[in-house]
Structure 1
């Protein structure tokens, strides 16, 4: 059985109704299929090539989705191990201004090549096999990484760092805590980002599910009306890049276009 199918099947089995209802697993005598609905081939890596589209609101949306997704993975005792831009795909329809329930459904993980099932694989002690660890090789903080679950926390931190600063995670030890080398004070919602990085980098032996849930709750607090309006405008621009035909159809089909940015 292909590994991606196995992981998706186990997630469906363990998460039950919380499993992604837009993904289905089918097994036959001569093969198997994992069917993802409403996704395209536009990855987060592709979005990084268009830096002008990556606004504060887009970054918050992406990281909020990651926190939500990875919390579910860890509750199912699955570690992804490669939360890189190329393994995350933007869903079709995230630019729909009339869909106000999409904020936790913007991303889809489609590659579980480096994933492990810690319920079945009890002997995962060497972390160097995870691609996230390979990417961050040389970072001293990895020496304090005692659990496979922490690898995904570092993956989220690295993705946030890439989106915010266009480079991989760089940290230092200040004598009591691990902190970013970059200055967060000038960022919009700098306190929120500082909390995210400090909690992730210093989670130690804490339950990653608790850390992820705490950070997800904190990040969801910024989704007020003003933020949502700015996010809708940013997503509209992303949508024009991802699927201009769908946007044209949507525009022609709506009777009230007053919310659509120009």
Structure 2
């Protein structure tokens, strides 16, 4: 997986955001994988620790959304389905100020990533299957059962896009996503803060939840670029002004 990501040669290097196995110990009845230690714990841990305060920080939520989109986009370009994308499987490495630029490639380039995606125990290497292969299996956790699983339709990359939507939902609202269907459109039950870019956030959820078929997977890169343009034009100054406070808050919560 690391080699495939390297071959992509994208301006944004997500390899540091994807679990790398330093050592592995394998036995007949168990195994142990040694990887990078992240003192802040999982993304879910951090959201729970921040409590209500994180809901008012669109700059941080949008930044992490863009980072997640880069991650998923490049994994899928390598024909890898993670299969279990959720806040529990994202460790928080930490935050740094970003370059002050109107060019998203300048802002997000480099190899410093705030999150680390772990647990590839459910992942699928699509390169090992014939073209056109789809799946009908269902995950056991209902909160992360994609629309296709819920409606008994075939799926491939949809499961990760649903997991992406669910993770973004936790960042926005501090709780797991619930969906419902209205006039053939799948929606979330929560309403986006009116101070946020409601139109863009609605588009994100609509795109990730309403996927026509396995042959018509949405262009995540186009959606990600729209998010980047909004971030650099409207949120980047606030991010750089406030991020040191976020870092101090995160460190103080971790030390408790």
- TM-score norm. by structure 1 comes to 0.72
What is aligned with 1:66?
68
Tell me what 2:77 maps to: 75
Larger radius of gyration: 1
| TM-superposition CA deviations, 1:135-193 (whole Å, max 9, x none) | 34597872155212100111111112222222222222222322222233735100001
SS in 1 for 2:127: coil
Instruction: Tell me, in whole angstroms, the C-alpha distance in 2 between the residues paired with 1:153 and 1:40.
Output: 27
Q: Tell which deviates more after alignment, 17-26 or 101-110.
A: 17-26
Q: How far does residue 24 in structure 1 lie from its aligned partner after superposition?
A: 5.8
Question: How many residue pairs were aligned?
Answer: 230
1:13 equivalent to 2:23? Answer no
1:241 partnered with 2:214: no
Which of 217, 227, 231 is residue 219 of structure 1 equivalent to?
Answer: 227
CA distance in 2, matches of 1:221, 1:77: 27
Of the three residues 170, 181, 185, the one matched with 1:173 is 181
Selected match of 2:204 from 178, 196, 200: 196
**TM-score normalized by structure 2?**
0.73
Where do 5+ consecutive residues of structure 1 fail to align? 1-9, 245-262
What's the RMSD between the two structures over aligned residues? Answer: 3.5
- State how 1:1-262 maps to structure 2 within 5 Å: 10-13=1-4, 15-16=6-7, 17-18=9-10, 20-22=14-16, 36=36, 40-49=39-48, 50-51=50-51, 52-54=53-55, 55-92=57-94, 94-96=95-97, 103=108, 105-120=113-128, 125-129=135-139, 134-136=142-144, 142-143=150-151, 145-184=153-192, 186=194, 188-205=196-213, 206-208=215-217, 210-224=218-232, 226-243=234-251
Matches of 2:211 and 2:122, distance apart in 1: 22
Is this contact kept in 1: 2:148–2:154, CA < 8 A? no
1:102 is displaced (CA, Å) by: 5.8
